[in-house]
Amino acid sequence: MNLTLKGFVLRGLAAGAAGGLAAALFIRIVTETQIGFALQFEDATGIGGPPGEPAEFSRTTQFFGGMFAAVLYGAVLGVVLAVAVAALHHRIPARDEFGRVAKVAVAVFVAVVLIPGLKYPPNPPTVGDPDTIGERTRLFLSLMGASIVFVFAAWFLWEYLTQRGWDGAPRFMAVAGGFGVVVTLAFVAWPASPDAINPPDNEAAPALQVAEGAPGEVLDEMLATARATDDEALRDPDDPSRPLDLDDVDEGSDLVGVPVAVNTSKLVPHAYTTAVWHFRVESFAGLALMLTVMAAVLGLLLDRQRVQAMAPAPAPAAAPGAGSAVGTAPTP
């Protein structure tokens, strides 16, 4: 195919923008739900506390900024994909350009997304410790670099065995087995994530208080339930970090004004771990969708160029005034 590097880059830019747009729409329709759940947990931990500082950017600005970032990231990744296809074009066997692009896209997903993401998975906003983001980023990028090396090594091993006459299951088992062993060793060698994922909780910082106007029968039931279940939600007014000594309480009306620490999981209608898990799975799905659309569009553009380059040139037009080789005999 007669196409310059600039042609590959421009087509990769267009394909990457298309993939980024698909990922941005996926974020809007699917992933945004889990982000909203994570923000609800953050809001629940602040109930009863002083209002915090307003966010530097509104939620709407953050939302559309994230979509724009997805399109921009897709465009950059599309250029990288196109340059890789151009560099390896004559070494990747395939029936068409889409086949070549698909093989490179799968390798990119495994090396750049899957392997480092399984070791250091993404978290939604407000989840995890922001103080560890620098260390987590360093570990993620270092494992990504190693993963790229592993993928290239597997590819070279595949070519080497093919040249030696290996084929079918023996070749696949040798390459896949070796790749699996190397990745497993890398997972053991790289340290665990320094970011512990603990559900946000406000039990140690009471957010509520027993209201003055609470009905007496409700207060009596609250006291009876606390004694029967050893519930430590009722806290000592003098030291809210300690549970209230129920032996010093004679009747339910004595609970008026007592601070109450409510577990965050009781204030949000969904499970914290479920929201984190869904966000991580949907993050992988969004990136897979981005690369799938990107590979499809880039393969389509390259195949169209290939068809145009292979089309026969049109026959030259006849010169003006030229007649047929067989003419009419002149009249004597």
Q: What pLDDT does 46 receive? A: 58
Q: Are 23 and 290 in contact (CB under 8 A)?
A: yes
Q: What pLDDT does 173 receive? A: 96
CA angle (32 as vertex; 28, 36 as ends), nearest 5: 150
Which token pair is 298?
A: 């880039």
Q: What pLDDT does 332 receive? A: 45
Residue type, 160: Y
Q: Are 19 and 294 in contact (CB under 8 A)?
A: yes
Q: What share of the chain is helix, strand, coil (3-state, %, to 5)?
A: 65, 5, 30
C-alpha span between 19 and 74 (Å, rounded): 6
Residues in the chain: 332
Q: What pLDDT does 297 receive? A: 97
Q: What pLDDT does 52 receive? A: 56
Q: What pLDDT does 319 receive? A: 54
C-alpha span between 21 and 69 (Å, rounded): 10
Among residues 106, 115, 180, 108, the alpha carbon closest in space to that of 141 is found at 115
DSSP letter string, 225-286: HHHHHT---BEETTEEEEE--GGG--SGGGGTT-EE---GGGTSSS-HHHHHHHHHHHHHHH
| Rounded alpha-carbon distances, angstroms, from residue 234 to 201, 243, 298 | 15, 6, 62
Q: Are 272 and 200 in contact (CB under 8 A)?
A: yes
Which token pair is 65?
A: 């900024």
Helices 97-108 and 272-310 sit at what angle, rounded to 10 degrees?
150
Element (H, E) at 25: helix 5-26
- Sequence ranges of the domains in the chain: 1-128+267-310, 129-196, 208-262
| The model's pTM | 0.75
| Rounded alpha-carbon distances, angstroms, from residue 262 to 68, 71, 203, 204, 268 | 38, 41, 6, 9, 11
Q: Are 257 and 264 in contact (CB under 8 A)?
A: no
C-alpha span between 158 and 167 (Å, rounded): 9
Q: What pLDDT does 329 receive? A: 45
Main-chain phi, psi angles of 188, to 5 degrees: -75, -40
Q: What pLDDT does 331 receive? A: 46
Q: What pLDDT does 282 receive? A: 95
Ranges of residues in the chain whose predicted pLDDT is under 50: 48, 323-332
Among residues 32, 15, 8, the alpha carbon closest in space to that of 278 is found at 32
